[in-house]
Amino acid sequence: MMTDQAKVRVLLLESIHPDAVSRLESAGYEVESVRNALDESELIARIRGVHLLGIRSKTKVTAKVLEAADSLVAIGAFCIGTDQIDLTAASANGIAVFNAPFSNTRSVVELAIAEIIAMTRRLTEKNALMHEGVWDKSAEGAHEIRGRRLGIIGYGNIGTQLSVLAENLGMYVSFYDTADKLALSNAHRCATIEELLETSDVVTIHVDGRPGNAGFFGTEQFKRMREGSLFLNLSRGIVVDHVALREALESGHLAGAAVDVFPTEPKGRGDEFVSELRGLPNVILTPHIGGSTEEAQSDIGGFVANKLASFVEEGNTTLSVNLPGVGLPEQAGQSRIGHVHINTPGVLAQVNSILAEHKVNVEGQLLSTRGEYGYLITDISGGFSDEVLERLRSMEQTVRLRVLS
């Protein structure tokens, strides 16, 4: 439906999967793919003239970046989290944000299961000794996971799937979530996080990176955990106090830990990794690879790229993180206008009054609202004048107006 696809410029950062590049290039877009993340000043210098921006977890899209983005219409987060994007500023500029909330769930869950087994069997220590030429055939400190209790903090997409797989392996499961969540299978919902910590053999965190979660798991929480228990964090680095975690491990209170995310992470492959957790026995450190399987990255690449292309060409915001979800089927031979606006009464009537005044024939419309903002798609048969567009843009409630064809 969009006639100027060749002019659409796409900037993809952080080595986004080639499937995304292929999908966007097949739409006729000009795609530039960059291996590493960019910091704020670097992104500001590169963002001008870019219509679509693709990132993963390390690139921060701040209000200053969005202010410098003179052509940006949508951002694709090729991951689960979107806390690295200033969603309030994006919405205020009428920029749609899309992510991949389900595509790498299985990959994260499988890594968590593998790490639980590895720590419970003390495989990291046995492996290190073998590489040093030491044969230490002993069952001391090695256990089965069957019959042990897994405590899951955050019972979302990842937490629930981990719950089911852990039960299938013979574990008991408890979970804690601030939201009201339905327990799957035989999982036990804990009334408090303290109950979960005091009764679990393994504690794993699966929460988002909103500012309110920063540093919520520290010294007091580790003290509450059972002696000899295990700890995992595959969610966000800012959630856990790593100094407190090191102390809990060095004191022997915790028997092991697996950490995939860190408060400060290197920008690119090969850069030095600095952490308080380096060098500790029975601690598994991985470079933020929870969702980094070829299957997951391929799925994410195709999913988010499709959402970006659909928004550019059809104006569809289905599963957008920040704008109201609207998906109107495409009709051949018609023009389409997308209108992001402040959610106040009478906007639809005002838009249609302008169209009627200029004798514009409306073939289809769909309006949805979410909080402060509304989004309206209008399909039009026949032509319309620049004056119509100017009138719509000049409406007091208008945030952004896009003509798709």
Q: Does residue 128 sit in helix, strand or coil?
A: helix
79 CB neighbour count, 10 Å cutoff = 26
Q: Is 236 a catalytic residue?
A: yes
Reading phi first (left if > 0) and then psi (alpha if -120 to 50, else beta), residue 382 is in: left
Report the alpha-carbon distance of residue 99 to residue 323 in Å, rounded. Answer: 12
Confirm if 67 and 95 have CB atoms less than 8 A apart: no
Check if the beta carbon of residue 13 is closer than 8 Å to that of residue 54.
yes
The answer to whether 179 touches 128, Cβ cutoff 8 Å, is: no
**Active-site residue identified among 56, 122, 236, 341:** 236
Considering 288, 336, 341, 400, which one is annotated as catalytic? Answer: 288
Q: Mapping DSSP to helix (H, G, I), strand (E, B) and coil, where does residue 138 land?
A: coil
140 part of the active site:
no
Q: Which of 265, 276, 330, 363 is catalytic?
A: 265
Q: Classify 15 in phi/psi space as left (phi over 0), alpha (psi -120 to 50) or beta.
A: left
Question: Is 288 among the residues known to form the active site?
Answer: yes
- What is the rounded distance in angstroms from the CA atom of residue 162 to the CA atom of residue 108? 9
Euclidean distance between CA atoms 45 and 176, whole angstroms: 43
Residue 284's CB: how many other CB atoms inside 10 A? 19
Residues designated as active site? 236, 265, 288
